[in-house]
């Protein structure tokens, strides 16, 4: 009987694992079928335009705007990878490290680079595989452990041992994990439109609506096909993510200019430029759930309520994992692309959070 009881937990764990991976691959197949139907529909409507895209050899001027900062590179000794970043503000000032989401790159933080350089050394990074940062070819090189270690190594290579860490979307996921794994390196944590990773994994399994909204996580498990779908109709999917009524920045937001859109198209239309970013997602199901959960530094979570990809209920649940001062602000008219959508409000909220923490420490 004792042996039988001991076997039951093992059987339950194995059964749950089997059901989990069955869900992952089944939903992956569903998403692939939907994408295939969209491809056939596009070919049927405009066969000449479906496989056409513009060759973009020269970056738009906005990517070299000196008011945003200086383009820099750092090579990490252990991994051998070269990372690209844009830095604003004087060296020696406290470091504010900015981690972008998908499909974005350092430029998504342009409003924050200009805003916070007066009191911080602001560094907007191109994550592993993005933009001008090196992109290893194998998906195993994009495991969460590698991405977390990247941030630690970059921090040290820049000559700092701590920072204000800011992340949006997938960069928010990495920021949460860095704060959990290396709490001594993060003085304050600011996350934009991404819940605590444990909240995300638990919520998505219990709420089919969020499972549908996160369908791209499953679709990205396929090799090459997601990258191919992004290229159709001159990267129409990429443009619509930022501009469509369903997922883009609304009428009351700070909409991307034609040059801003061209900046994104330039970066992601380069040969192989999409594989690295999508590889970030191709390891996620083998890395979650987390063993450690608690966040012990002051934390600010900003959320656009019109987020088409993340349900706002996850924002409030996140509170239980933060064992320090936690501030949540939800902006009712804002989209997923919050720091670009409402830059003035976001910047003001970040300033308030940073200064109120300073006042609290003095008291």
Task: List the catalytic residue out of 134, 280, 336, 341.
Answer: 336
In DSSP terms, which residues pair with 190 in a beta bridge?
A: 166, 300
Alpha helices in 214-274, H assignment, sequence order: 215-219, 225-243, 258-268
Q: Would you give the end-to-end CA distance of the chain in angstroms?
A: 61
| Whether 281 is catalytic | yes
Q: Please tell me the number of Cα atoms within 13 Å of 104 on its side-chain side.
A: 26
CA 203 to chain centre: 18
Cα→Cα distances 215→68, 210, 308, 324, Å: 34, 9, 12, 33
Distance (Å, whole) CA 210 – CA 310: 7
DSSP line for 325-355: -EEEEEETT--S-HHHHSHHHHHHHHHHHHH
Task: List the catalytic residue out of 168, 281, 307, 321.
Answer: 281
Task: List the catalytic residue out of 134, 150, 169, 260.
Answer: 169
Query: Tokens 């059987």 appear where?
Result: 11
| Whether 207 is catalytic | no
Q: Name, in order, each residue with C-beta under 8 angstroms of 224's C-beta and a sequence gap of 6 or more.
A: none
| Whether 73 is catalytic | no
DSSP reduced 3-state for 222: coil
Q: The tokens of 293 are what?
A: 């959960």
Taken as a whole, the chain contains a residue count of 363
Catalytically active residues, by annotation: 169, 281, 336
């Amino acid at each position: 009987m004792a042996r039988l009881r001991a076997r039951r937990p093992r059987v339950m764990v194995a059964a749950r694992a089997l059901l989990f991976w069955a869900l992952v691959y089944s939903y992956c197949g569903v998403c692939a079928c939907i994408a295939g139907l969209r491809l056939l529909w596009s070919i049927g409507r405009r066969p000449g335009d479906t496989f056409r895209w513009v060759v973009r050899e020269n970056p738009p001027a906005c990517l070299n705007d000196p008011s945003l900062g200086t383009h820099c590179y750092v090579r990490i000794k252990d991994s051998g990878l070269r990372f690209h970043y844009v830095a604003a503000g004087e060296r020696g000032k406290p470091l504010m490290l900015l981690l972008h989401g998908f499909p974005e790159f350092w430029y998504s933080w342009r409003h924050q680079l200009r805003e916070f350089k007066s009191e911080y050394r602001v560094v907007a990074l191109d994550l592993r595989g993005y933009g001008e940062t090196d992109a290893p070819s194998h998906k195993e090189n994009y495991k969460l452990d590698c991405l977390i270690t990247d941030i630690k190594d970059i921090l040290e290579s820049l000559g700092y041992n701590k920072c204000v860490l800011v992340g949006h979307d997938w960069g928010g996921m990495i920021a949460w994990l860095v704060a959990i794994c290396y709490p001594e390196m993060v003085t304050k944590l600011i996350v934009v439109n991404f819940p605590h990773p444990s909240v995300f994994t638990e919520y998505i399994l219990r709420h089919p609506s969020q499972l549908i909204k996160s369908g791209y996580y499953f679709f990205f498990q396929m090799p090459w096909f997601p990258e191919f779908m992004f290229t159709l109709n001159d990267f129409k999917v990429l443009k619509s993510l930022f501009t469509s009524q369903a997922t883009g920045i609304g009428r009351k937001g700070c909409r991307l200019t034609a040059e801003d859109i061209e900046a994104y198209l330039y970066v992601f239309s380069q040969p192989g430029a999409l594989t690295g970013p999508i590889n970030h997602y191709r390891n996620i199901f083998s890395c979650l759930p987390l063993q450690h959960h608690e966040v012990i530094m002051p934390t600010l979570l900003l959320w656009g309520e019109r987020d088409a990809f993340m349900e706002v209920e996850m924002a409030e649940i996140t509170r239980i994992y933060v064992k320090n001062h936690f501030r949540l602000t939800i902006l009712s008219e804002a989209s997923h692309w919050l720091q670009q959508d409402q830059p003035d409000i976001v910047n003001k909220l970040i300033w308030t959070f940073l200064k109120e923490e300073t006042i609290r420490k003095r008291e």
